[in-house]
Structure formats: structure tokens, C-alpha cells
Amino acid sequence: MTRSTEGQSGTVLAGSPADGPMVRVEDLRRSYGTGAAAVHALRGVSFEVPRGELVALKGRSGSGKTTLLNLVGGLDAPDGGRITVGGTDLAGLDEDGLLELRRDRIGFIFQSFGLIPILTAAENVGVPMRLRKTDPHEREERVALLLSLVGLGDHTRQRPGELSGGQQQRVAIARALANRPAFLIADEPTGQLDAETGLAVMQLLRAVVRSEGVTVLVATHDPQLLSFADRVLELSDGHIVEHV
Ligand SMILES: Nc1ncnc2c1ncn2[C@@H]1O[C@H](COP(=O)(O)OP(=O)(O)OP(=O)(O)O)[C@@H](O)[C@H]1O
Ligand SMILES: [Mg+2]
């Protein structure tokens, strides 16, 4: 392992399964707006994501899945409640601490891929490592390894516009893994893909949980994909129901 141990979040997240769950959420609340127009997206949500598991988050459109993932990833702050990621209480991190956590320890995958159009597949995967000033040789080696892991070893020089949707999402998965995150957050990663391609992407995520030892929290409303999960959380009326 070449997992870096510099920085506060670095040492905290590089733990073993004995260190407790990857994510612990307690009585989480988040509303949008005020007064009669307020939307109470999360009304006291509690759950855990054990290390090394793939946990699916389901719920109808508007049930609060994206809201919850953004909070767990430190992209948004809650109105109440507590979130710990790898034992670190997110409320205790300042902006720089959150930035470091997101850059070094959490990988994000979005429904819309989020690739940079003018960069090749390889350059896109390399971006998080550039932000972290990883040695160029090490970066190139890891980019090649990740692109072959996601089955795109022959497409490294193509730009997103020259790749299919499924291929673009696989580039995005490779990019999310670039800095060896302990934790992957995926928001409807198969939402823009056909059923067969979505299945392949989900299988890839499943494989990555094994090969890279990461923990995954993935929002999906595709019932076909729930079978890949170790456990399923359902958001309904601002609360979580767990299906093990
Ligand atoms: N920035 C915002 N301002 C106001 N309301 C918001 C905002 N973001 C989300 N909401 C509201 O909060 C609720 C939860 O939205 P959220 O995006 O978390 O749902 P979701 O489960 O991800 O839905 P989908 O499956 O369609 O992606 C919705 O009622 C939505 O309209
Ligand atoms: Mg959403």
C-alpha cells in the first residue's frame, strides 16, 4: 500500500475494519427554505455504512438521496445531527479540512459523469492526482492501471465526446479511484445508461469494492441494481428504513 498518511483525515481513514464503520450518521436533519414553503428533506436520519461494504440508497425521486449523499461527502452542511466518516466528525473540520477529506479520501461519481470535455480519458483520470501533486511517473502508472481496471486500456487517448455513455462513466469511476479513496459516493451512476450498460457499471463497482478494498454508498432507484448491495437503505418521508 502506498496510501499516504500525511494530514489529519489521511491517518484517520486508512484504518482497518476493527476501527468501526466507514460512515455513521445520527439524527441528521436538512431542510430547504423556511416557513410554510420549507421542504424537510431529512427529518432525523440515522444509519451506518460498514467498511468494505457496498450499500445502496433507494427512494423515490425527491426523497432526499442527493441531499444525504452531499452531506455525507462534506459538500453541504446539515441543520442538525452528526456525521462521521472514517471516525472523523465532519462538524469538526474547517473548509480546508473538508477539502482535504474530499480530495484525498472520498471519490465521487455522478449521474452526469462530470468529465472535462477537452481532456482525454487518461488526462481526466489524472486530474485528482495533479491536484494532489502526485509524482508524474506514479500518476501515469496509476492512470494506466485504473483505465485497464475499468476495461478502457485501449481508449486512453479518446475524449469524453468520443466515448459511449457507459465508457464515460467507467472513466469517471477510474477518476474517482485515482487518489485511493477509502470511500466512494455514487449518485445514480447508472441513471443515464441503458439497462445492460448500467448492470456492467454496477458489476464494476462491485468488483472495485473487492479489488481496491473501498466502501461504497450508491444512490439508485433501479431495482435491478439493488441485488449488488450488501445492504439497502430506503429513504421515505425524510426517514431511513433499512433492508439487510
Ligand atoms: N437546493 C435546494 N433548494 C430547495 N429545495 C431543494 C434543494 N435541493 C433539493 N431540494 C428539495 O429537497 C427534496 C430532496 O431532493 P433530493 O435532490 O435530495 O432528492 P433525490 O432523492 O436525490 O431525488 P432524485 O431521485 O430525483 O435525484 C426535494 O423535495 C427537492 O425539491
Ligand atoms: Mg438525486
The predicted-structure confidence for 220-243, as pLDDT tens digits, reads as follows 988 878 888 999 999 998 999 877
Residue 2 pLDDT class (50, 70, 90 cuts): very low
Instruction: Extract the C-alpha cell encoding 35.
Output: 416557513
Mutate to test the pocket of ligand 1, among 32, 57, 79, 239 (most ligand atoms within 8 A of CB): 32
Sketch out the chain's domains with CATH numbers. 53-77+94-243 (3.40.50.300)
Return the pLDDT at 200. Answer: 86
pLDDT value, residue 97: 95
Measured in Å, residue 147 CA sits from the centre of ligand 1 at 33
The residue among 50, 45, 47 whose CA lies nearest residue 20 is 50
Which residue out of 60, 66, 70 has the highest number of ligand 1 atoms within 8 Å of its CB and is therefore the one to mutate? 66
Q: How many angstroms does the Cα of residue 192 sit away from the middle of ligand 1? A: 18
Enumerate residues lining ligand 1, CB below 6 A.
Answer: 32-33, 39, 41, 59, 61-67, 221
Rounded Cα distance between 167 and 215, Å, is 22
Q: Please state, for a pLDDT cut of 90, what percent of the chain lies above it.
A: 71
Atom 18 of ligand 1, residue of closest alpha carbon: 64
| Ligand 1 atom closest to Cα of residue 188 | 27
For atom 9 of ligand 1, the residue with the nearest CA is 67
Residue 19: predicted pLDDT: 72
Give the lowest-confidence range in 25-29, 108-112, 138-142: 108-112
Query: What pLDDT is recorded for position 17?
Result: 45
Question: What confidence score (pLDDT) does residue 12 get?
Answer: 43
| C-alpha 117 – ligand 1 centre gap (Å) | 27
- pLDDT over threshold 70, residue 28: yes
Among candidate residues 183, 185, 124, 216, the one with its CA nearest the CA of residue 3: 183
Quickly tell me which residue has 479511484 as its cell.
Answer: 177
* Mean pLDDT taken over the chain: 89
How deeply is 103 buried, as exposed, middle or buried, from its count of CB atoms within 10 A (0-12, 13-18, 19+)?
A: middle
Secondary structure element (H or E) that encloses residue 211, with its range: helix 195-211
Give the H or E element holding residue 243: strand 239-243
